[in-house]
């Protein structure tokens, strides 16, 4: 086998072509195959579940007369029914839910509040249309009495006294109210009154007020207070007689609108806000919240909420979600990933699972049954990455809709990788360094190949020469 200059050039060209091809190859990836049916079709994310049910046409849904309303599932966070629920409206005395919530969180019920001159001045600024208990400057009254006055009688001077006692001024207290609203996830709320003054700046939404009432009835004694039929404020240093309070909420004080599952709420009215009402109900451990703004009249707001509650409990199903329920498929998914990594230099260094607390769907859909699956269909693992984190959806699947109810998160590392305290960022220089190392390795392999070929060539030439010498001696 004789190599001339042309052969050497051809060999060099071939080697160069191989090198260019190798350098242009993409990163090696590993895809996990799964039988998850149509993962992108009818797949509802955890965030989308807040309003997804509103897109479904429900039979015999109640007609609500209010300008804005909501039926909110306090367990799952889903909006079951609603209209203009994210539109800012004046809440009127429903504002007091936030005021009392902050009082219950920040004060002891036995604390004694002394009515200051600033408080008294502010009380006197309220017109006769605003309900008041009749607090006097210098009067000493307990926090408990003020809270019951604010909730049962809707006394505006009681709410003002609480706010100014907590915040120093009503303005400072309103800042606290707004901070608390933000903490609860309210995105469209701005309080400028501690009691619900008819002020175009004192605004919230049906959705935001649902979050506020949920906090009040779930984590404080607000539910017990707002369900109290009557309460007595004993005589004080400025008022010689006991003051009897009767709950004005028709859920409590009437049989016509008495609702056995009612656990707390607040009424409201001003000329500009109209008739407003928020209420929470609990049945079989499941809490729903309803809010109406600007209802047609004081009676219909109660009827509307009762209809909403009954419809919600009959037509929607909320199920708890626990990690134990999904442990089997989580283990199966992990085995699949481990099997996929078995032939690589990768391994799972850490695994975490985060689940929703509840999932809500229609009762009709729930009755058809469901299956639990982990969606591995879109999982791609980079075989060359030193470190990567993959979030894998965990789903509850019904016949026509799949809900993401959690995520399996796995962190994958190289087996020979060294974990640094401060990892070096994957900059352009790092990429260039990797390319140069790869180039050097491939060049080394090519050099070895060329040397082997040259040695082989020399052996062939020597063999042919020996054969030629033997032929010459024979001749």
Under DSSP, is residue 111 helix (H, G, I), strand (E, B) or coil?
A: coil
Residue ranges and CATH numbers for the domains of the chain are 5-23+425-474 (no CATH), 32-50+322-414 (3.10.129), 66-295 (3.40.710.10)
Number of Cβ atoms within 10 Å of the Cβ of 415:
10
pLDDT tens digits for range 130-139 = 999 999 999 9
pLDDT band at 84 (very low <50, low <70, confident <90, very high): very high
pLDDT tens digits for range 362-389 = 999 999 999 999 989 888 999 999 999 9
Torsion of CA 369, 372, 377, 379, to 10 degrees: 160
Q: What is the largest CA-CA distance in the chain?
A: 148
CA 252 to chain centre: 34
Which pTM does this prediction carry? 0.80
DSSP calls for 116-134: PHHHHHHHHTS-TTS----
Distance, in Å, from the CA atom of 9 to the CA atom of 229, rounded to the nearest integer, reads 102
Please check the confidence at residue 429 and state whether its pLDDT lies above 60: no
Tokens representing 93? 């005395």
pLDDT at position 458 is 78
Give the phi and the psi of residue 46 in degrees, each rounded to 5.
Answer: -65, -35
The b-or-e profile of 357-381 (16+ CB within 10 A means b, else e) is: ebbbbbeebbeeebeebbbbbebeb
Please compute the mean of the pLDDT values over residues 16-30 and round it to a whole number: 48
What count of Cα atoms within 13 Å lies in the side-chain half-sphere of residue 218?
15
pLDDT at position 278 is 98
Please compute the mean of the pLDDT values over residues 68-86 and round it to a whole number: 98
pLDDT at position 22 is 42
The answer to whether 278 and 95 are in contact (CB under 8 A) is: no
Please compute the mean of the pLDDT values over residues 183-208 and round it to a whole number: 97
DSSP calls for 334-390: HHHHHHHHTTSSEEEEEEEEEE-SEEEEEHHHHHT--EEEE--TT-EEETT-SEEEE
The answer to whether 434 and 27 are in contact (CB under 8 A) is: no
The answer to whether 215 and 207 are in contact (CB under 8 A) is: no
More confident residue, 475 or 66: 66
| Segments in 95-205 forming alpha helices (H) | 96-106, 117-124, 143-152, 156-167, 170-183
Under DSSP, is residue 114 helix (H, G, I), strand (E, B) or coil?
A: strand
Nearest to 161 by CA among 207, 211, 222, 112: 112
**Which helix (DSSP H) or strand (DSSP E) does residue 270 occupy?**
strand 262-270
Tokens representing 471? 């032929």
pLDDT at position 20 is 45
Distance, in Å, from the CA atom of 2 to the CA atom of 97, rounded to the nearest integer, reads 97
pLDDT tens digits for range 432-465 = 666 777 777 787 778 777 787 777 777 777 777 7
Which residues fall within 8 angstroms of residue 141, CB to CB, at 6 or more apart? Answer: 112, 113, 115, 135, 161, 233, 236
pLDDT tens digits for range 252-291 = 999 999 999 999 999 999 999 999 999 999 999 999 999 9
Tokens representing 437? 């190392």
Under DSSP, is residue 393 helix (H, G, I), strand (E, B) or coil?
A: strand
């Amino acid at each position: 086998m004789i190599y001339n200059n042309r052969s050497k050039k051809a060999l060099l060209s071939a080697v160069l072509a191989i090198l260019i091809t190798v350098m242009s190859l993409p990163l090696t990836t590993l895809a996990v195959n799964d039988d998850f049916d149509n993962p992108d079709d009818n797949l509802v994310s955890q965030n989308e579940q807040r309003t997804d049910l509103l897109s479904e046409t429900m039979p015999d849904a109640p007609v609500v007369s209010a300008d804005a309303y909501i039926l909110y599932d306090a367990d799952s966070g889903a909006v079951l029914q609603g209209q203009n629920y994210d539109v800012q409206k004046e809440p009127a005395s429903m504002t007091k839910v936030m005021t009392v919530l902050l009082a219950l969180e920040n004060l002891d019920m036995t604390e004694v509040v002394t009515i200051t001159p600033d408080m008294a001045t502010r009380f006197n600024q309220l017109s006769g249309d605003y309900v008041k208990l009749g607090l006097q400057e210098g009067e000493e009254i307990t926090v408990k009495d003020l809270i019951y006055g604010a909730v049962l009688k809707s006394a505006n001077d009681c709410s003002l006294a609480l706010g100014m006692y907590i915040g120093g001024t009503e303005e400072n207290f309103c800042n606290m109210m707004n901070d608390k609203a933000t903490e609860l996830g309210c995105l469209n709320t701005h309080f400028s009154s501690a009691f619900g003054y008819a002020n175009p700046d004192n605004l919230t939404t049906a959705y935001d007020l649902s979050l506020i009432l949920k906090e009040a009835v779930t984590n404080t004694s607000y539910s017990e207070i707002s369900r109290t039929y009557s309460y007595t404020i004993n005589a004080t240093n400025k008022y010689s007689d006991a003051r009897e309070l009767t709950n004005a909420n028709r859920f409590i004080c009437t049989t016509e609108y008495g609702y056995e599952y009612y656990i707390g709420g607040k009424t409201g009215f001003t000329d500009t806000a109209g008739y407003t009402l928020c209420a929470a109900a609990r049945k079989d451990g499941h809490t729903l919240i309803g809010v109406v703004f600007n209802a047609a009249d004081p009676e219909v707001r109660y009827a509307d909420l009762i209809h909403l509650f009954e419809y919600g409990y009959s037509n929607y199903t909320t199920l708890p979600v626990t990690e134990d329920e999904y442990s089997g498929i989580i283990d199966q998914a992990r085995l699949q990933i481990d099997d996929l990594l078995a032939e690589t230099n990768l391994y799972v260094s850490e695994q975490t699972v985060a689940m929703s607390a509840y999932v809500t769907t229609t009762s009709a859909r729930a009755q058809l049954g469901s299956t639990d699956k982990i969606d591995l269909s879109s999982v791609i693992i980079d075989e060359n990455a030193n470190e990567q984190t993959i979030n894998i959806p965990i789903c509850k699947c019904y016949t026509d809709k799949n809900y993401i109810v959690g995520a399996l998160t796995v962190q994958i590392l190289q087996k020979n990788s060294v974990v640094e305290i401060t990892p070096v960022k994957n900059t352009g220089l790092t990429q260039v360094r990797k390319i140069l190392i790869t180039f050097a390795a491939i060049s080394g392999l090519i050099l070895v190949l060329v040397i082997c070929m040259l040695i082989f060539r020399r052996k062939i030439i020597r063999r042919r020469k020996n054969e030629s010498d033997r032929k010459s001696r024979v001749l």
